[in-house]
Amino acid sequence: MEICHLYISPGHNFVGHHGREPDTHPMMEVPVLECVAGRGIRGDRYFDFKDDYKGQITFFSLDVFDGLCVALDLHDCSPATARRNVITRGVDLNELIDKEFEIQGVCFYGTQECAPCYWMDSAFAPGAEVFLRGNGGLRARILNDGKLRPTAVVPSAAA
């Protein structure tokens, strides 16, 4: 599995905003994610969110993102729009559901698909929610402390 991008956000844009406009907390690309067992990613909105929270860290496939951009004719769009923490390439994230896996010495437990919601149509474009069903990413618990760093060289969307 390649790690292409790492993101954190200080706040929730969509969670708890049903019937209201989303907030505007940015997804910030970072060079390192500090994973804390049972708590989440230091500096992220889900750090210490709930005891034993199933989405302490989220993963999303750059391959799925690229397919979404083609299908919806999206240009100048960033994978950060999906609001997931770790953007990967070369792995079927659904295969990690209900499994332990390790990346760069950090162990995770894949809890469930990070299912897309109706906000995806606002964040990306109409049709995004339907396109992403079954491929919305992966929620996971962090099992031990450690740090993740990108392993792939991927041109930025602005390049």
Are 65 and 87 in contact by the 8 Å Cβ rule? The answer is yes
Closest alpha carbon to 155 in 101, 102, 61, 76: 76
Cross-strand pairs, 33: 148
Q: Which whole number is the average pLDDT over 23-28?
A: 70
Q: Is the pTM of this model over 0.75?
A: yes
Q: Which whole number is the average pLDDT over 27-55?
A: 94
Give the Cα separation of 91 and 110 in Å (integer): 13
pLDDT tens column, 58-97: 999 999 999 999 999 999 899 999 989 999 999 999 999 9
Are 123 and 132 in contact by the 8 Å Cβ rule? The answer is no
What is the model's pLDDT at position 122?
Answer: 83
Structure tokens, 109: 């437990």
**Considering the chain, what is the average pLDDT of its residues?**
89
pLDDT tens column, 1-21: 999 999 999 855 455 444 656
Q: Which pLDDT band, with edges at 50, 70 and 90, does 153 fall under?
A: low
Domains along the sequence of the chain with CATH: 2-9+27-148 (2.40.33.20)
β strands within the chain, DSSP E:
2-8, 28-29, 33-36, 40-41, 57-61, 86-89, 100-103, 106-113, 138-142, 146-148
